[in-house]
Amino acid sequence: MKNKAVAILGLAAFVFIGIAASKPLGTKERNLKVLPKDISDTDLDSVMEGYSKALNVKCDFCHSENKAKTDIDFASDDKPEKEITRIMMKLTAGINKDYFDYTILYKAGETMAVSCYTCHDGFPRPELKHEKKD
């Protein structure tokens, strides 16, 4: 009986350790609908940094706070700007493919013929770039 209990506890510990090791600590949940699901963290960060620079915004422009309001919930779809970004990603990919024979791979350092900056030029809303700044 004692050997059975030890074996069961050992097996339970082995399963628990296996489950814990399958998802690294600190891994943020992803909600990728346009970007490839297997995009590396480096390439994802590079793409997001490009959007941030092209629109002159920070992460919270598209991503909302978590429920505790202590951090950004990158997986949340609460903000409409996130869906607008997805639409614009498809638009620029289509333009580059149809008119420039270019396939977007979403890799760090990748150069596109048409990008967010083409229209936004450092403004969150491209229609504002021609207005005078106070």
What are the tens digits of pLDDT across the range 73-119? 999 999 999 999 999 999 998 998 888 877 777 776 667 788 899 99
- Examine residue 18 and state whether it is found in any structural domain, yes or no: no
pLDDT score recorded for residue 128: 74
- Examine residue 1 and state whether it is found in any structural domain, yes or no: no
pLDDT score recorded for residue 43: 93
Q: Is the pLDDT of residue 16 over 60?
A: no
Local structure of residue 126 (DSSP, 8 states): G
- Examine residue 61 and state whether it is found in any structural domain, yes or no: yes
Domain count, the chain: 1
- Examine residue 120 and state whether it is found in any structural domain, yes or no: yes
- Examine residue 134 and state whether it is found in any structural domain, yes or no: no
Q: Cα–chain-centroid distance for residue 37?
A: 10
pLDDT score recorded for residue 57: 96
Residues whose CB falls within 8 Å of the CB of residue 43, separated by 6 or more in sequence, listed in order: 106, 107, 108
Q: Is the pTM of this model over 0.85?
A: no
pLDDT score recorded for residue 38: 93
The answer to whether residues 33 and 86 touch, using CB atoms and an 8 Å cutoff, is yes
Instruction: Quickly count: other Cβ atoms within 10 Å of residue 113's Cβ.
Output: 14
Burial status of residue 62 (CB atoms within 10 A of its CB: 0-12, 13-18, 19 or more): buried
CA torsion through residues 98, 100, 121, 127, sign:
negative
Mean pLDDT value across residues 33-53: 93
Backbone torsions φ then ψ of 30, nearest 5 degrees: -110, 150
Q: 9 or 61, which is more confident?
A: 61
Which residues form the domain of 101? 28-128
C-alpha to C-alpha distance for 119 and 92, rounded to whole angstroms: 10
What's the chain's average pLDDT?
81
